[in-house]
Amino acid sequence: MTEARFTQRPAIVTGAARGIGRAIAIRLASEGAPSLLVDRDATGLAETADKCRGEGTAIETLVADLQDRAAPRRIADAARTAHGAIAVLVNNAGVEFRGNFTAHDDAAWDRVIDINLSAAFRLVRELTDDLAATRGAIVNLASVAVVGFAGQAAYDASKGGLATLTRSLAVEMGPMGVRANSVAPGFVDTEMLKEAPDLAAVAERLVATLPIARTGRVEEVAAAVAWLASERASYVTGHTLFVDGGWMRR
């Protein structure tokens, strides 16, 4: 275990079955966080939990679909039962829809907005009292997509909305002692990229033009999340931290 910054700072990580969410779960566990890991993928979630338990902290899992409006309450209840009042909430679960603006039917639009944005809002609403009681921290996974790209209107809107929601939360919850920040990754090497072949091709071309000319690693995103969630970032709120190899400075 690295330095135990999250002992008695229980955490929830959504989308923890793979990719960035798994790396965040492992990082927080390695720093001592008792955690509730959430995903709709039971198999991947169990694998992540095994890796986290190797770090010696108390880990529970909950299989839930964040598009289900009842999921945030189930998650909050399960987290309280397992670990008491939650101090760290990481809204990481996210989905993409690739297609032109006109190719987004209502189901595609609703799914992306529900999972990437509305579920985060509902989870924070469920956990406000816990986060205030623990003087906790929220970290939301936005994206460089906040700038707006072709071929992913719902995704970009969801991430822009999430970054702005984060700033609203920071202002409203600051007086409660709660900090809220977002991390905006650039291209990170995960299944999400591999499942969208057109995007993977764009990524390959684009990363060559970055100041740090490679894709990001999941551990690099997890390190930023862990920092923002910890007391090391005690005077940082309402911020969007780009972990993007310099994408925004090109």
> Site residues (CB under 6 A) for ligand NAD?
15, 17-21, 39-41, 44, 65-67, 92-95, 115, 141, 143, 185, 187-188, 190-193
Q: d(Cα 179, Cα 136) in Å, to the nearest integer? A: 7
Question: Considering beta carbons, is residue 23 or 87 the nearer one to ligand NAD?
Answer: 23
Question: Considering beta carbons, is residue 1 or 201 the nearer one to ligand NAD?
Answer: 201
Helices (H) and strands (E) in the chain, counts: 9, 7
155 has catalytic annotation: yes
Instruction: Give min distance, CB of 34 to ligand NAD, in A.
Output: 21
Instruction: Give min distance, CB of 239 to ligand NAD, in A.
Output: 16
Instruction: Give min distance, CB of 172 to ligand NAD, in A.
Output: 22
Q: What region does 104 belong to: left with phi over 0, alpha with psi -120 to 50, or beta?
A: beta
Q: Which of 134, 140, 138 is nearest to 179 (CA)?
A: 138
* DSSP codes joined into one string, 27-40: HHHHTT--EEEEES
Instruction: Give min distance, CB of 1 to ligand NAD, in A.
Output: 24
Question: Considering beta carbons, is residue 17 or 157 the nearer one to ligand NAD?
Answer: 17
For tokens 């959504």, the residue is 14
Question: Considering beta carbons, is residue 106 or 235 the nearer one to ligand NAD?
Answer: 106
Question: Considering beta carbons, is residue 9 or 40 the nearer one to ligand NAD?
Answer: 40
Q: d(Cα 18, Cα 41) in Å, to the nearest integer? A: 9
Whether 19 and 45 have beta carbons less than 8 Å apart is answered as no
Given strand 179-185, what is the order of strands in its sheet? 59-63, 35-39, 11-14, 88-91, 137-141, 179-185, 240-243
What SS3 class is residue 60? strand
Instruction: Give min distance, CB of 94 to ligand NAD, in A.
Output: 2
Between strands 240-243 and 137-141, the pairing is unpaired
CA angle 1, 94, 123 (to 5 degrees): 75
Catalytic entry in 62, 114, 153, 155: 155
Question: Considering beta carbons, is residue 88 or 134 the nearer one to ligand NAD?
Answer: 88
Q: Write out the catalytic residue numbers.
A: 155
